[in-house]
Structure 1
Amino acid sequence: MPERTESESRKLLRRLRDTLAEAGAGQERLDRITHLIADSMRTEVCSIYLFRDPDTLELCATEGLNPEAVHKTRMRLGEGLVGRVARTATPVNTGNAPQERGFRFMPETGEEIYSSFLGVPIQRLGERLGVLVVQSREARQFSEDEVYGLEVVAMVLAEMTELGAFVGEGESLPSPHKHPVLFRGLTGQEGAAEGQVWLHEPRVVVTNLVADDPKAEVERLRSAIEKLRVSVDDMLNRAVVTDKDQMEILQTYRMFAHSRGWMRRMEEDIARGLSAEAAVEKEQSATRNRLQQAPDAYLRDRLHDLDDLSNRLLRILTGQGGDTGAAMPANPVLVARNIGPGELLEYGRSLKGIVLEEGSVGSHAAVVARALAVPLVIHAGRITDEALNGDPVLVDGDNGVVHLRPEDSVATAFRDKIAMQAKAQERYASLRGLPCETLCGTRVGLHMNAGLMADLPSLEGSGAEGVGLFRTELQFLIRNQVPKRGELAALYARVLDAANGRRVVFRTLDIGSDKVLPYMKPQDEPNPAMGWRAIRLGLDKPGVMRMQLQALIRAANGRPLTLMFPFVAQFEEHVQGRDHVLRALDAEGRLGHPLPERVEIGAMLETPSLAFAPRQFFEMADFISIGGNDLKQFFFAADRENERVRRRYDSLNVSFLSLIEQIVARCAEVDTPLSFCGEDAGRPIEALCIAAAGVRTLSMRPASIGPVKHLLRRVDLREARAVIAEARASGAQSVRSAVVDWLVRQG
């Protein structure tokens, strides 16, 4: 690359740095930036388009186009050349823009006299903020060096986190990381919490984007790379790996760290004027964009490795290491891109709330959050970029909303909500020792869901009659290798000890779908929720199932044992699972181990197909538990992870209630006990309708037992059934409105 180009590039970046440091109103400052870029690149036009919303771009500043078009010209994502750059996140470089595919003429801008067009995305680490464009009358393509230089400038602009303030009004800039921000995500665990941000992996803040001494920056980069490689090699040498696929993944991680191409590209970035830190971020963004568009799922999954390595390198360069000396606040709300179950358990019950950018309602983190009874919001996009340690934050797990640095009025209203919930819990506590008996004399058993030893004290505190679901997969998920049979037997024995004679229903290993073991080869299934999971995996891996059944039998040590198989879709699967239990009992007896006093073998009904199973299934099963979460998503063919469809379908839909009533009737024919387990069991109105349908046992999170008992003790199920029947006869799609109106009339 010619020395003149290097000098021009560094000169532009220095001028841009100085301009960004100047005070002034936001629009004036942005106008100065477009003038500077047009002047430095010797083009007649420079324009900045920013996202107004995820699908709309707005012209926010220009040098050369009609100034009256600023904040008026807008285009959809993919519309015109600017929209194409935004959609693909790749540059468009043409000497004849009007003849280019997708060109759209915007008459209010006056751009018809300009032939040449170069547009590059303004983005940072996968976050697309807008498009930077230069244009000229001369019909020419911009050189490779000019394209690269504009990309570097766009990256520097992307670091202006306050860019959003320019959209719409062009007001003065607020200070970054100071103003209130609202994030709308999904509910992972219900509840409300107020606290201060504690970042699981704090974002490295790069403040020196431009450097004047390339040689010194290259030396800094090489020194940091060497430290990174040593730390990665040490980490991999210490790792205990028995699985071939896991070893291949770790070797890929090492390959990234030793990539010569990665190093060469960062050195080229530095030669054009970037600091070492900015060069790392630029390559991280560019590689992220390439991998995100890769058709190979394996390559897309390597994004995590790339991000982790880049962040490690940035911490070395900036000195912002893992141990920053910051102390966790007294009321921490954990904020992370994602987190594993083991790491989350290390935080324990000290957390007031959890907010994740990624995750799912069935993920490891969500399961642990429910076990810890901590409010969780998932899919809170970009919060790790915006939040700083110590920021005040409100977590509304009920509605999937997070208020970061909330205004006083919002915080006051939120505290009122928390206070009301606390008063309600006090009221529910007075019911703890009372039975859940309706006004018509119907007894409904309320049991709790659990998955950790830490859950068991809630048996006393919540008033639960037993554990309707103990999730055994957590002990597999938090380890780096298969747990030993003796370890599991000891844990299950402690669970039974803590239950103090109350019934505990152990669900056998429910993995697969989005619950993938760290030591299990990932299955690239197009629809994992309906793939190789739960009992399907257990029957195909009989050694694992046998080991777990032996651990459960030994843990019982002569006491009653209750277990159930998850995700049974047909009678034959239950027959095979039951046969495994009987063979394990026979083997343990021959070894001289004490056998359980009584064994109950049940099934979770989570697929509509099992509701139509032969009569023999309902006769053979010692009990059946309706798994409401999965049954609902398969009944309506609506993925519960998909916000676009999951809220379209109501649990109190008459068709779904009819299915539950059919299951109740089939169990009643052969006198098989039936329970309902899932989120709806813990929602008072849904619980009322499920009980009215004939289900006499509900299993839920401990915090829901009080509210459900409070409502059921105040209603007559005969009247509730009459209200439901009337709503159904009227042709209503859901009975919710009718039931709510009836409850209001009841006071």
Structure 2
Amino acid sequence: MVTITGKSVFGGVSIGKLLFYKRSEKVIKRTHVDDLDAEWKRFQEAKDAAVSQLQGLYDKALEDVGEANAMIFEIHQMMLEDLDYLESIENIIRTQEVNAEFAVATTADNFAKMFSAMDDAYMQGRAADVKDVSERVLDILCGVDTGLKEMSEPCIIAADDLAPSETVQLDKSKVLGFATQFGSANSHTAILARTMNIPAVIGLGEELSPEYNGKTAVVDGFTGTIYIEPDEETMKEMTEKRQKDLDRKALLEQLKGKENVTKSGRKINVYANIGNVSDLGAVLKNDAGGIGLFRSEFLYLENSDFPTEEQQFSVYKQVAESMAGKKVIIRTLDIGADKQVDYFGLDKEENPALGYRAIRICLTRPEIFKTQLRALYRAAVYGNISIMFPMIISVDEVKQIKEIIAEVKEELRSEGIPFKEDVELGIMIETPASVMVSRELAKEVDFFSVGTNDLTQYTLAIDRQNNKLDRFFDPHHPAVLAMIRMAAESAHAEGAWIGICGELGADLELTQEFIDMGLDELSVSPAMVLPLRNRIRECD
């Protein structure tokens, strides 16, 4: 038996054969070319074929994972039409008199290095994309096939890591789990695993070798461990563990349709946090009472330019209609800090967590803010939409927001465009400043939602992105809990309701304490809705 430990990105136990994702093996050689026009034409034909393939992948992804997740294939198509990219390839072919394969591979390496060297996290992420699209063109030029052979039986997919174009081609009904050598908790593989609710372990390193292809394996997504050819005792233990997990999920399924009510009769709203439209299925499947946080910045992160009013309206309308009258709280764009978008043209900051982000961008660039607000007020006609503003630190900011909203309403009214006049407004409580003036803020808004991730970061003066500080980052710190209690008291004193949409809302150890504080709502990942309902029903 071989035991390899990595990092869990989704819990559960899967047992099956390992199937390694095999990429095409091709050797790119530099060869001299005489007919340069013909070679450039050969590249252009391969590029056009790649664009056509990517359009097919976009159409498939649209059905499988929704528009927001399919957007990556539109971005890849645009990359293949990028003038700088094309000019580099043509220049290498013509000046060095070489074959198209060599020119594409060289350009891909150069661009990937260039992107990786940038300070901007978004641009660093483009390095993998340029390699991915270039590999596709190279496969066409070399005449090789890529990907998995037909999956004849359910199996555990193993790989170094998987690109979006690779995961979308998988037969999802036959994927038992994922095991990858590399990747991060935010990699496409990890996101897909969470969306599909299947066990996944990343960061297993090169110990996860292709020589194990076809071997029986167990992925323990709870501990981040994979067992290859497990012995009898381990197999028995893992089979029992898997059955217990399945039994637990079956019990939770029985909670569907039931209320989130404590033993003493107190009702708590349990909503779901989502990042894009493709997560709606998980919200409905897990019987969430509504959406407590829709992260609208994903519309900006997945676009190559500012999303238009119509693009945003279409997405917000779809979410509102799909939730059929249930509450949908949409947070206005929270760009900045760890979420960078190149077309915003944001300067590099020494301390971006304390910098130009979220509502600070919206209030200083009202043209961006107004576009989003117009789309939101128009979409509110089609469902129960509430609007929430992030990173608030003062009453003045809320008053400025209301002034801009008044302007937006007047514009829509004068243009004869239907919109909902009375939309519930709320703010994120994620700074100590907002807690300290929460009584005054509660007079201005309908609700608070506590962003515990940032509130913990700012209260403890600890960068939550810094892995070296993990041992000091304590969301259970008495100061953090005191902040939440204070915000709750302020909200209720002024007739507003209060919830939590940060990670702490799913911490079942604190559920009883949150109920004691008087919190009205907890918003968690869709997979945590039923476990949280179960915990609430156990509370006094």
Measured against the shorter chain, the TM-score band is 0.7 to 0.9
Q: Which residue pairs with 1:403 in the alignment?
A: 226
Find the residue that maps to 2:538 and give its secondary structure: coil
- Indicate yes or no: 2:11 matched with 1:184: no
Residues in 1 aligned to 2:92 and 2:281: alpha-carbon distance in whole angstroms: 55
Cα distance per residue 1:528-557 (max 9 Å; x no partner)? 444443323333443332222222222222
Q: TM-score, normalised by structure 2?
A: 0.74
**CA–CA distance in structure 2, aligned partners of residues 286 and 697 of structure 1:** 49
1:9-88 to structure 2, matched below 5 A, reads none
Given that residues 112 and 126 in structure 2 are in contact (C-alpha distance below 8 angstroms), is that contact kept between their aligned partners in structure 1?
no
Aligned to 2:443, the other structure's residue is in SS state: helix
Give the CA deviation at 1:640. 3.7
Deviation at 1:694, TM superposition (A): 3.0
1:9-408 paired onto structure 2 within 5 Å: 180=2, 182-185=4-7, 187-194=8-15, 202-205=22-25, 219=31, 229-230=43-44, 234=48, 250-254=82-86, 257=89, 304=128, 307-308=131-132, 311=135, 315=139, 320-322=144-146, 325-327=149-151, 330=154, 333=157, 335=159, 337=161, 339=163, 350=173, 352-353=176-177, 361=185, 370=194, 373=197, 377=201, 379=203, 381=205, 394-399=218-223, 401-403=224-226, 405=228, 407-408=230-231
5+ residue gaps in structure 2? 56-74
Secondary structure, counterpart of 1:417 in structure 2? helix
Residue 334 of structure 2 aligns with an amino acid whose one-letter code is: D
Q: Alpha carbons of 1:454 and 1:415: their partners in 2 closer, same or farther (altered >3 Å)?
A: farther
Change (3 A) 1:506 1:334: farther
Contact 1:345/1:368 (CA < 8 Å) preserved in 2? no
Structure 1 residues 679 and 537: alpha-carbon distance in aligned structure 2, compared to 1, 3 A threshold: same
2:527 equivalent among 699, 703, 711: 703
What is residue 503 of structure 2 aligned with on the other side? 679
User: 1:604 and 2:428 equivalent?
Assistant: yes
What is the rounded CA distance, in whole Å, between the counterparts of 2:346 and 2:236 in structure 1?
Answer: 46
- Kept after mapping to 2: 8 A contact 1:489/1:555: yes
Q: Which amino acid is 1:546 matched to?
A: K
> Which of the residues 499, 502, 509 maps onto 2:326?
502
Kept in 1, the 8 Å contact 2:178–2:189? The answer is no
Q: Take 2:178 and 2:153, find their aligned partners in 1: how far apart are those partners?
A: 14
Q: Which has the higher contact order (CA 8 A, sep 6+)?
A: 2
**Structure 1 unaligned residues grouped into runs of 5+:** 1-178, 210-216, 268-275, 717-747
DSSP 3-state at the match of 2:424: strand
Deviation string, structure 1 residues 587-622 (Cα, Å, up to 9, x no partner):
222333333263111111223332223642221121
Over 3 Å counting, the alpha-carbon distance change for 1:306 and 1:553 in structure 2 is: closer
Paired letter, 1:429: E
Q: Write the letter of the residue equivalent to 1:664.
A: A
Match of 1:489 among 310, 313, 321: 313
C-alpha distance 285-619 of structure 1, shift in aligned 2 (>3 A) = closer
> Would you say 1:429 and 2:253 are equivalent positions?
yes
C-alpha distance in structure 2 between counterparts of 1:648 and 1:467, whole Å = 31
- Measured on the aligned residues, the alpha-carbon RMSD in Å equals 5.0
Distance in 1, matches of 2:461 and 2:392, equals 18
Q: 1:624 and 2:448 equivalent?
A: yes
Change in 2 beyond 3 A, CA 1:301/1:698: closer
Report the counterpart of residue 367 of structure 2 in structure 1: 543
2:418 counterpart residue number: 594
Q: Deviations over 1:307-346 (max 9, x none)?
A: 5588568757975433665448645647564646x98678
Cα distance between partner residues in 2 of 1:324 and 1:428: 35
Change (3 A) 1:306 1:343: closer
Q: For residues 304 and 255 of structure 1, do their structure 2 counterparts lie closer, same or farther at Cα, with a shift above 3 Å needed?
A: farther
8 Å CA contact 2:429–2:435 kept in 1: the answer is yes
Write the distance in 1 (CA, Å) between the matches of 2:274 and 2:304. 22
- State the one-letter code of the partner of 2:380: A
Q: Which residue is 1:469 aligned to?
A: 293
CA–CA separation in structure 1 for the residues paired with 2:124 and 2:229: 35
Task: Give the Cα–Cα distance (whole angstroms) in 1 for the partners of residues 171 and 504 of structure 2.
Answer: 26
User: Within 5 Å, which residues of 2 pair with 1:528-539?
Assistant: 528-539=352-363
Query: How many residue pairs align between the two structures?
Result: 511
Shift of 1:663: 1.9
Inter-partner Cα distance in structure 2 for 1:307 and 1:654: 47
- The alpha-carbon distance between structure 1 residues 596 and 334, as it changes in their structure 2 partners (threshold 3 A), is farther
**Structure 1, 601-610 or 323-332: larger mean CA deviation:** 323-332
Q: Is the 8 A contact 2:43 2:141 kept in 1?
A: no
The one-letter code matched in structure 2 to 1:688 is Q
Is the CA contact (8 Å cut-off) linking 1:232 and 1:257 kept in structure 2?
no
Residue type of the partner of 2:230? E
**AA matched with 1:403:** I
Larger Rg belongs to: 1
**Per-residue deviation, 1:191:** 4.9
1:697: Cα distance to partner?
1.1
Identity %: 26
Partner of 2:494: 670
